[in-house]
């Protein structure tokens, strides 16, 4: 399988994964600083989606190519660029395709970037081999992910917004009920040791780094509960109606007992981390 298409999420993806103003630009600048990417370098993003990561690069004038299974997601990216006065001067290309069978020549890019994608791809080894193939010698592969409470990172002992506690409780319910690993995907995050080991077997020098802090827009616990009820996160798409209803009932029982301010909005913060692989 090539991966999971996000066609159904195109209209709301940015609401669930978007950053507060300034965060995406900070991530861009950190990637550029860490990799030494020049403005004329060629860059490829695997799983470009709606442009959550790509837009700051495109608007800063980088030579940028993106590929994604979902044309609907890339259409959202194009819609965001359409009103830009400098749109005609941007250097970018979008391709619909499979990240495990890239339609690009060998050694075509100076940097390959992928954020929150490896866990969605069943044949993740093919994806990484392809990323290596299209990188020029001396180029870098950056596998990024948001490290934040509620994204699978434990929150015990941390002061986090109640909306994030709701998401964390949902993830714990998934584990308790045996639904934590959806089929048809690797379920491996960028920091997984299997990924580092595989990149090493391809001859890469691999480092795990914290690149930049980020912030997400304010959200209430009730809004988070509504997202979960609407299956706005891809890990819930394979649940049967009965499984989803059971989880929602359990969540609501917990919500009633533990959420103090269901309509109080708060921003959440995290760290953008990455595995960076280089080949000499």
- pLDDT tens per residue across all 280 residues of the chain: 466 889 999 999 999 999 999 999 999 999 999 999 998 999 999 999 999 999 999 999 999 999 999 999 999 999 999 999 999 999 999 999 999 999 999 999 999 999 999 999 999 999 999 999 999 999 999 999 998 876 655 555 567 899 999 999 999 999 999 987 788 788 887 678 999 999 999 999 999 999 999 999 999 999 999 999 999 999 899 999 999 999 999 999 999 999 999 999 999 999 999 999 999 8
Q: How far apart are CA 145 and CA 151, in angstroms?
A: 10
210 neighbors 216 (Cβ within 8 angstroms)? no
* Residue 75 within any structural domain of the chain: yes
Cα-based distances in Å from 183 to 1, 186, 238: 11, 8, 8
d(CA 167, CA 273): 20
Is 131 in contact with 112 (CB distance < 8 Å)?
A: yes
pLDDT of residue 190: 65
Whether 1 maps to a domain, the answer reads: no
Residue 268 falls within a domain, yes or no?
yes
Query: Could you tell me which of 256, 242, 222, 232 has the C-alpha nearest to residue 179?
Result: 242
The confidence score (pLDDT) of residue 154 equals 55
Residue 159 lies in a domain: yes
Say if 223 falls within a structural domain.
yes
Provide the whole-model pTM: 0.93
Residue 140 lies in a domain: yes
Query: CB under 8 Å to 105, separation ≥6 — which residues?
Result: 134
CATH number, domain of 258, equals 3.40.50.150
- Report yes or no on 272 lying in a domain: yes
Angle between helices 124-134 and 193-201 (to 10 degrees): 50
Sheet arrangement for strand 42-46 = 92-96, 63-68, 42-46, 109-115, 135-147, 266-278, 205-219
- Domain membership of residue 2 (yes or no) is no
Total number of domains in the chain: 1
Q: Which two tokens stand for residue 97?
A: 């395709």
48 lies in which domain range? 7-278
Please answer whether residues 143 and 210 qualify as being in contact, where contact means their C-beta atoms are separated by less than 8 angstroms: no
Q: With b meaning 16 or more CB within 10 Å and e meaning fewer, what string describes 28-49? A: bebbbebbebeeebbbbbbbbb
In total, the chain counts a number of residues equal to: 280
């Amino acid at each position: 399988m090539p991966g999971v298409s996000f066609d159904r999420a195109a209209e709301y993806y940015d609401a669930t994964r978007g950053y507060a103003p300034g965060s995406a630009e900070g991530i861009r600048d950190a990637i550029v600083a860490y990799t030494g990417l020049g403005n004329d370098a060629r860059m490829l993003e695997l799983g470009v989606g709606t442009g959550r990561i790509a837009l700051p690069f495109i608007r800063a004038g980088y030579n940028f190519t993106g590929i994604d299974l979902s044309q609907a997601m890339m259409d959202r990216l194009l819609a965001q660029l359409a009103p830009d006065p400098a749109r005609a001067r941007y250097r970018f290309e979008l391709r619909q395709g499979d990240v495990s069978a890239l339609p690009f020549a060998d050694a075509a890019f100076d940097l390959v970037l992928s954020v929150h994608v490896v866990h969605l791809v069943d044949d993740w080894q093919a994806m990484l081999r392809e990323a290596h193939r299209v990188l020029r010698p001396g180029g870098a592969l950056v596998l990024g992910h948001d490290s934040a409470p509620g994204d699978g990172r434990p929150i015990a002992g941390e002061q986090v917004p109640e909306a994030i506690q709701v998401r964390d409780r949902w993830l714990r319910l998934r584990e308790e009920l045996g639904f934590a690993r959806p089929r048809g995907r690797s379920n491996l995050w960028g920091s997984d040791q299997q990924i580092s080991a595989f990149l090493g077997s391809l001859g890469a020098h691999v480092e795990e780094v914290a690149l930049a802090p980020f912030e997400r827009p304010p959200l209430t616990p009730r809004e988070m509960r509504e997202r979960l009820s609407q299956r706005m996160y891809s890990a819930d798409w394979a649940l049967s109606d009965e499984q989803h209803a059971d989880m929602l009932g359990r969540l609501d029982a917990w919500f009633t007992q533990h959420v103090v301010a269901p309509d109080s909005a708060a921003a959440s913060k995290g760290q953008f981390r990455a595995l960076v692989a280089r080949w000499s």
